[in-house]
Amino acid sequence: MGAVLGAVVGLDGRPHYLHSGWFLISVANLVVIVAMLVVFALAIVLPFPLGRREQ
Amino acid sequence: MTAVRLPQHADPALEWTGAKRRYDLVKEAVIALVAVSLLTVLLASLFSSPDVKPITVAQWSAAAPKDFLATALSELDGTSGVATYGPPYTHVAGAGQNIVGGVSLERALGVQIPIDTAQAFVLGPLAIPARTSPLIARALAIYEGAPPARQRSWTQAFATAVDKGNVVARVRAHRTLYGPVPAMMAELLAMARSGALDGALISTDRFYQTNFTKALLFLSDGSYLENTAAKQNLLGSQWGMMNETGNYPGQAWLWLYTFWYQIPPFSTSANADAQVWAIMGALSLAFVCVPFIPGVRSLPRYVPLYRLIWRDYYRREASA
Amino acid sequence: MSAPTWTGRVRTRGLAAFPPERLLPDTQPVYVASWIYVFGVLTLAAFVVILASGGVLALAGPAWWHTSSVGHFFNSIHLWSTELFFFFMVVHLWGKFFMAAWRGRRALTWITGAVSFLVSIATAFTGYLTQQNFDSQWIGTQAKDGLNASGIGAFFNVLNFGQMLMWHIVLLPLVVALLIGGHILLVRRRGVVPPL
């Protein structure tokens, strides 16, 4: 079972980073942070299905 | 259909008496649990998790013997990072980081995890082969019987020899310069390469062990562990606190904790840890106390995000 | 009738604070109409998965996942549920900040949530320390300096595996669970904060 469920996407390889001056971030962390911002924006903007009303 | 009554600008402290809708709390919790479980299984199946093997002293001594010997010598003569660290490991007057001025919590709490580096990392482990090797037993006896100034001249001379290379030739040419130290270091290197030093550093006078302090401090005094980490962008100066080995996401939530180490004055300060932790302690306290901080607690009113969140409510309120 | 018992007093006060309809309501105010509201329960769900996967890892001990592919899979579940836990918690936190959710005597709700965040960081940190791999070695030898500088290192030794493991699987999860429990009860007590 473990062999079948081993990593499909290998994340153990050479690390990828974005570097500008003193700013350095891993691509993985950047993806996570951007995903959080996108999910937050979508959560606020997407319409919420409104159910039955009660007084 | 009866009209929906919506109270105008309800007092947030009062219980809501306005319109409600049907809501299934338990169903929502179950759906959330199933969804998160499935998402987790998917992520675990796709990406697995990192498990980079730990570094052993055996590996270190084989891959970087010069660095290993230089570290061992510094532990022996009390010039290593741990030996000069101060509290909580060693008694060193004035050592320990200051938060501001001369205020140091580190010094105030004192030495709680005492380490005698010469004994812990060199003399103690060497006592094991000394039991069966008269050569090592004699070398240890000579070393431990010599005055500190003589010991220091031997270790420093040998450290210079190791650094310059051609150690065997140098030792043969000027034996008296180095005393028993070459024999001790050769034995320690052999112990390290065989794996015996890994075992010796973990063992104590008790059978069961769960504390790896000595072994880890020894590794941290050398450069091999750090060089391995640098290749993975894990150093403090590389925003390392946030990062993970390979391309795995790390701890993005630590961004502000690690940020300070990247900018002056903290990036060059000897007291960076104490200063950054003091700043983050204060900011963490402020984060907890947001409801009581004027200005900060009013920020949401000036950012129109709430209008988006409650747009349905405001629309109905306006038409009511 | 004799003086009320402690049990009676606890029951009376408990029921007064949390009558069943408040503890397990099947209605909610109409203004609760945004996807941002699901991130609290998503965080809680992730916490349950963390505990469950941690429980499985505990079955065979801390070294299991290094030698078993099934063990490694459950370690991966434990890691990714933790990533999701923080992901959902941060989105939940952002939402609650911009809603100024501490209004109307809800300051303690904010406080328990914020402290949960900080204690969760400490819990995850001790988890990283007890992996028994290169990561643990590096994180431990680095973190010791910050902790020593603040004096905490004198009593909280990140290089002591036994100590860190017990903090990670006993002490800290208990504190996090109590904080989350208190946080949820406070939300039930005061209700969801109305609009600004």
Give me the interface pTM, i.e. the ipTM.
Answer: 0.95
Report the gap between the CA of A11 and the closest CA in chain B (Å). 5
Report the gap between the CA of C37 and the closest CA in chain B (Å). 9
Q: Are strands B20-22 and C27-29 parallel, antiparallel or unpaired?
A: antiparallel
Would you list the domain boundaries of chain B? 57-226
- Taking an 8 Å cut-off on Cβ atoms, the answer to whether C134 and B33 are in contact is no
Q: Which residues of A touch C36 (CB under 8 A)?
A: 40, 43-44
Chains touching chain C at 3 or more Cβ pairs under 8 angstroms? Answer: A, B
Q: Which residue of B has its CA nearest to C116?
A: B288
Of the candidates B176, B177, B172, the residue with the CA atom closest to the CA atom of residue B156: B177
- Taking an 8 Å cut-off on Cβ atoms, the answer to whether A48 and C34 are in contact is yes
What does the pLDDT read at residue B222?
Answer: 97
Is C186 in contact with C106 (CB distance < 8 Å)? Answer: yes
Would you list the domain boundaries of chain C? 35-85, 99-196
What does the pLDDT read at residue A40?
Answer: 97
Query: Residue B316 — pLDDT band, cuts 50, 70, 90?
Result: confident
- Taking an 8 Å cut-off on Cβ atoms, the answer to whether C45 and B37 are in contact is yes
- Taking an 8 Å cut-off on Cβ atoms, the answer to whether A54 and B249 are in contact is no
Report the gap between the CA of B57 and the closest CA in chain A (Å). 24
Of the candidates B107, B136, B112, the residue with the CA atom closest to the CA atom of residue B124: B136
Neighbouring residues of B138: CB distance < 8 A, sequence distance ≥ 6: B180
B5, B23, B48 ranked by CB distance to A6: nearest: B48
Is C40 in contact with C89 (CB distance < 8 Å)? Answer: no
Give CA–CA dist A51/B112, Å, rounded. Answer: 61
Query: Which of C44, C65, C96, C98 to substitute to test the interface with B, most B CBs within 10 Å?
Result: C98
pLDDT digit string (tens) for C75-92? 999 999 999 999 999 999
Query: Which of A1, A4, A5, A11 to substitute to test the interface with B, most B CBs within 10 Å?
Result: A11
C99, C111, C144 ranked by CB distance to B288: nearest: C111
Q: Dihedral angle at the C-alpha atoms of B226, B232, B236, B240, nearest 10 degrees?
A: -140
Is B50 in contact with B70 (CB distance < 8 Å)? Answer: no
A3 inside 8 A of chain B by CB: no
Is C88 in contact with C47 (CB distance < 8 Å)? Answer: no
B231 inside 8 A of chain C by CB: no
Window 9-48 of A, Cβ < 8 Å to B: 9, 11-13, 15-17, 22-29, 31-33, 36, 44-45, 48
- Taking an 8 Å cut-off on Cβ atoms, the answer to whether C33 and A5 are in contact is no
Report the gap between the CA of A36 and the closest CA in chain B (Å). 11
Can you tell me whether residue B20 is helix, strand or coil?
strand
| Residue for token pair 């002293």 | B57
Helix (H) or strand (E) holding C149: helix C134-149
B198 inside 8 A of chain C by CB: no
Query: Residue A19 — pLDDT band, cuts 50, 70, 90?
Result: confident
C110 inside 8 A of chain B by CB: yes
Q: Which range has the worst mean pLDDT, B8-12, B52-56, B287-291, C23-27?
A: B8-12
Per-residue pLDDT, averaged over A5-25, amounts to 80
Q: What is the pTM of this model?
A: 0.92
State how far the alpha carbon of B289 is from the alpha carbons of B131, C94, C111, C182, in Å: 62, 15, 7, 17
- Taking an 8 Å cut-off on Cβ atoms, the answer to whether C45 and B32 are in contact is yes
C35, C87, C94 ranked by CB distance to A46: nearest: C35
What does the pLDDT read at residue A3?
Answer: 39
Could you tell me where the DSSP H helices lie in chain B? 25-47, 57-63, 65-76, 105-109, 117-118, 124-130, 134-145, 148-164, 167-173, 175-178, 181-194, 196-202, 213-221, 224-231, 255-259, 272-288, 299-302, 305-309, 311-319
pLDDT digit string (tens) for C7-28? 999 999 999 999 999 999 999 9
What does the pLDDT read at residue B225?
Answer: 96
What does the pLDDT read at residue B2?
Answer: 41
A22, A29, A31 ranked by CB distance to B263: nearest: A22
Q: Which residue of B has its CA nearest to A11?
A: B247
Query: Residue B9 — pLDDT band, cuts 50, 70, 90?
Result: low
B243 inside 8 A of chain A by CB: yes
Report the gap between the CA of C5 and the closest CA in chain B (Å). 30
A49 inside 8 A of chain B by CB: no
Conformation bin of residue B246: beta by default, left when phi > 0, alpha when psi is -120 to 50? left
Is B70 in contact with B159 (CB distance < 8 Å)? Answer: yes
B303 inside 8 A of chain A by CB: no
Is C175 in contact with C10 (CB distance < 8 Å)? Answer: no
What does the pLDDT read at residue C187?
Answer: 96
What's the CATH fold of domain C99-196? Cytochrome Bc1 Complex; Chain C (1.20.810)
**Which residue numbers in chain C have pLDDT < 70?**
1-2
In percent, the amount of chain A with pLDDT more than 70 equals: 80
Report the gap between the CA of C6 and the closest CA in chain A (Å). 39
